Structure 1
Amino acid sequence: MSIPRKRRSTGKVTIADVAQLAGVGTMTVSRALRTPEQVSDKLREKIEAAVHELGYMPNLAASALASASSHTIAMVVPNLAEAGCSEMFAGLQQILQPAGYQIMLAESQHRVEQEEKLLETLLASNIAAAILLSVEHSTTVRQWLKNASIPVMEMGAIRSDPIDMNIGIDNVVAMYELTEMLIQRGYQNIGLLCANQEQWIFQQHLHGWYKAMLRHHMSPNRVINAALPPNFSTGASQLPEFLLAWPELDALVCVSDELACGALYECQRRRIKVPDDLAVVGFGDSDVSRVCQPPLTTMAVPHRKIGSEAGRALLERLNQGNWSDRKSIASSLCMRESC
């Protein structure tokens, strides 16, 4: 059966096109798509064939508005390439997808104004919940989300002032344990390398660092906070700065594995033996930490578990309306050959 051209003058296949090709009414098509168990197998197969032939895509937003409910969850991240982002997303999908929820993913590229534009659009789309990473948000975004009457999940790290729900590691505890490990292994002149972090995360790392160093009456002043990306190049370029300022340095804590591996490369170039002359440790347990030479001791962040726990918490809130505000997920030391 042919479809009149005027039906698709906009280039978009409608539910009426599907109904005409299948020889049924639009309400029957709608019922078959929403609740296929309520129509006969023969009729469902006929409608599915028409959907497949025409390439029809249901209008999920319109469906949600019609039913005053939604199974779409919005997730806004600064950058999909961020350490652990894909793992957290996979953890979320593992829990939310079988429950019938779809995640709409968007990038803000670390721009506050872009995050505002994205959330303004998403919040107008009748979403069931919103997921953000534990980063700084504008006052406008925080106010919108507080007034949205939907669950809001911030995940990755524990915050002191979450918008609503919050799951992640405790950066203070993680940095304390990483520094304490070096002290227990006999290192005396330890430095801390940070780079281009969210200010509140930098403060948490610094808090854990100071707590460990001062507990053992050691100087906590060997700190560089570079206004540069936390990557290999920055790690390599900042190691000489440490050695120039503190030639007695015998261990270096880096807030990312990429920084630490960059420092390792520079050690090799300068023929500094790791860990005999200088110990280097990272943060994150990324893939590169396992393959750099020597393999990197690091603080592992269970990104996939954070994602799956966030998914479970959202389902509990969506289905039952209750869940505690915050949950801390334990990080763990991965001991390798760099210290």
Structure 2
Amino acid sequence: MSTPTAVLEGLGTALPPRVVTNAELADRLDTSDEWIRSRTGISERRMVAPGVATSDLAVEAGERALKSANVHEVDLVVVATTTPDHPCPATAPDVASRLGLGPVPAYDMAAVCSGFVYALSGAAGAIASRQAGRVLVIGSETFSSIISPEDRSTAVIFGDGAGAVVLRAGSAGEPGSLLGFDLGSDGALADLIKIPGSGSRQRATGLPPDPDDSWFTMQGRPVFTNAVKRMAGSADALLKRIGWPVDSVDRFVGHQANVRILHAVAEQLGVPADRAVINLDKVGNTSAASIPLAMGAAVADGDLAPGDRVLISAFGGGVTWGSAALVWPDLTAL
């Protein structure tokens, strides 16, 4: 009996209605629209309204993904997020319950911006081992809840949103089949991207928490360098493993962190810049939600078509990185 392969059959996205423009940020930060655009490629981002949490976006994206796949049941739910509703319990069981999916297993994946790729890999493994015949994978973030509104280095970059996919058991020859993964991490670089406080390490000091330590921090220059190196290296290793020549890649869907990172990774790989899917200009960096949001936007714009060879790659805190590949199926993104 052949090993089942995870096949993409549904895609849904969710974005908060509130648009935050560069001009709005420039009014309260020492920056400008030109400064933000030139360094990040971002023009605007979305932000949740007061009272809206990560699970709310996850449920909306999940509903749309299930509708896209025309299914009502799954065997597993995985939510990739850096901004769970609570430190405990996980967000995924609540999402599964609110989606009416019954007592299915559900868990969170914490790999920051690489979270969606890691979650895809875990879901594909569950399908390959026959633990699940169908899996709902969601990347959902409300980064506005962990970004200091006064920190120019992060406030201009991140946005809120969610994207979800439905995977089913199928065969490797089908359109939509996930053909392989390449994952990695380097904990020695953990300080590059982190929230210093709010965890057991801070509590173990016995010292009163510093309120500033509850905000997300990032060291921009070394993050840029490592992101390009690791995404390009991971993507190249995966292409070699599955036997795809670089020039056969039709679309490169990288984590939407920074337009300069995306172009630099494409250049290192030898993928033409116009094959890189980019939607961060409208939504910013949405961490674990960025890849499914980018795929949804590309389908809507006609930039992803059935039969396209798609290469996915991401880099995030941990540090972590990962890549995946598939031939795009015929589906409607909602």
Q: TM (normalized to structure 2)? A: 0.30
From the CA coordinates, give the structure whose radius of gyration is larger: 1
Q: TM (normalized to structure 1)? A: 0.30
**More helix per residue:** 1
RCO higher in 1 or 2 (8 Å CA, sep ≥ 6)? 2
